[in-house]
Structure 1
Amino acid sequence: MIEKAVAGFEAAFGYEPLGVWSAPGRANLIGEHTDYNEGFVLPFGIDKRTYVALSPREDATCRVSSDIDGKTYETDLTTIPTDIDWALYPLGVAWVIREWAKGGFDAFFVSDVPVGSGLSSSAAIECAIGIALNEIWDAGRTKQEIALLGQKAENQVVGAPTGMMDQTASMLAEADSAVFLDCQSLEAKSIPLNLEPRNLVVAVMDTQVAHRHSDGGYRVRRESCERGAKTMGVSSLRGLSVEDLPRAQSELSDVDFRRVRHIVTENQRVLDSIRALAAGDMKQFGELLLASHDSMAHDFEISIEELDLAVEVAMRTGAVGSRMTGGGFGGAAIAVIDKGLLPALEENCKSAFAAKGYGEPKVFAVVPSEGARKER
């Protein structure tokens, strides 16, 4: 992939890049839609990455290209980019950190992170360009600061009201570990997963139903959460506990209550999951994954029939636990499952989807991997 990025850069711009940087996609073990509610999340970086070959320019021109569509998008740092498809992500990051700029840049991207699958291909782009620009512009930002700038670009430029989980996982991930992030204090801690000694892997069941965070469903859920917090007299839903739910049910509309209940109980599930992992209690961890999916399907209403089917098939195949991952309305589900059951999981998913008349899913394992880094 590194050589592919270099070759693409040379073909697009006619000279050799200064360097290559990369950042991983992420899968979220548990803690969905809790990030923008200042709650808890437990994602990890995956072994599928976005690579950017990049060189600085002396003028203010910013050019980005990729093997996605073969086009080159060009802007400068004085104008907020709009309506340029995937290029909004890297150019949006450049725009939000323009005060540190020491000129423009040329950049070429390649990636093996599936797009629209809930594995945060957008954050991988943002973090790869972020760590590259941080170096060439000598900005001196920490990895956590770069993650927050990526979120800012997604919120302000792309128009997706996402939290900071995806970018934080892509920046701070470590091998064989998950990132426990407190989205209120921004404290991050590495949580060992120890999957390999148990012969377990995280399988991704990509439904091939694409989603986009900037679509209305995500925004409506966020607005419901904000409305619930305001009615309950807290600055965010992090301020509520399970004990507050009876009062919430009496004061909120049915829809807003169910949205709030998902966030409050999901925060508790993240904390319970960390304790279960520390104790090596994979049975309890699996039960928490299933409870999370049930909450997303019925309280937050972001699952779809294909995701529900994938979870059902995974459990029938022998998974420890399974749930949809990502923003919802499409994308992928994950399953923690014995490595030896992967072929059966793939076969069972494909036959179950075919029987329902759905498109063929993709099933593959992901390995918890290192976060954003310079490659060469």
Structure 2
Amino acid sequence: MNRLVDRFLQYVIHDTQSNPSSESCPSSAGQLEFAQLLLSQLKALDLRNVNLDDNGYLMATLPSNVEYDVPAIGFIAHMDTAPDASGKNVVPQIVENYQGGDIALGKGDEVLSPIQYPDLHKLHGHNIITTDGTTLLGADNKAGIAEILSAVEFLAENPDIPHGDIHIGFTPDEEIGRGADLFNVDKFGAKWAYTIDGGPVGELEYENFNASTAIVEFFGVNVHPGTAKNKMVNSMTFASRFQAEMPSQETPECTEGYEGFYHLTSADMGVAKSSLHYILRDFDEQGLADRKAYLIDKVATFNEGLKQGRVEITFTDNYRNMKEMVEPHPHIIEIAKTSMQACHIKPLLKPIRGGTDGARLSFMGLPCPNIFTGGYNFHGIHEFITVEGMQAAVNVIVEIAKQTAIRYR
């Protein structure tokens, strides 16, 4: 466990925040620098086929230790952290044997409160790693990397545990939707894989949103305000009215479970031109199509009511629900469930209200459900993870390797 924690604390101090404005891969230099560190650590474990390509995709293999045929399986995590909060100068702290109440973050007034985050009530007695209240922690997904490496190290040190070929993949730019762009499934070599990129202990997910992005652009006319009467057309007025008329109960803060949403993520505002950037999410393909149709009709209605100016909309599809690609292979889920139960963990099958590399990889021929890391509150300054949750993830990874070998013995 100490090595696991040491790995994680070493990893989070590396700034690997991905950059959606960059067209390079990886999108930030910090990811490649971090990959070089991981490359050296994988080589030190004496793994096979350790390779880091120019785009920041890192792969390695722990060879099988059994004499019969076992399908090669994989474990995948991403190296980047989200653009939503700073990943620079991360200062983690460990709260040992948490006994309840607020946790002070760093030296300021920021706290982690069980009133705001009731999950803390279930974590009394646990050792909790938090931020200092100024950055995210980076458990999403450096915890997954630390857990995979620790599990592989444990398997290498305990040859009495049977396993087939174990393939490891660390990807860049998952947080900006590009993690699977240049992933070479054939080179990876696994029959199926698991992303270690979930939240609380027990999470097992093979359903995710269908996802699309919508950009609504508003075109007006800019004239000097001193002579603007009957001439200026302020596009910001259109944009604000458009957003005000969106369904107020179909947003992330008002939905849960299998409910989809519209989410205004950013806006670029000006008199002559403004744009609203939305993400659309729905577990059902028809539901996503209906959301697109709603926005198309709304734009058309808006344009009909304008005497000057115009509104345009464009869509970009991001990923699809992996359920249709994983369900035909129920043994992948059964092995994960059996492994959790063997580790005295109750499997919590639930939909991902987001996406992972596994969603796209599943459609690229690599069925890839998602497993917990033990973390909470990803993408913000209140992110935290428990040491016990991380160790539980390591145990499950080891057990999946073992149960796969037993199944095919």
Q: TM-score range by the shorter chain?
A: under 0.3
**Quick check: which one's helix share is greater?**
1
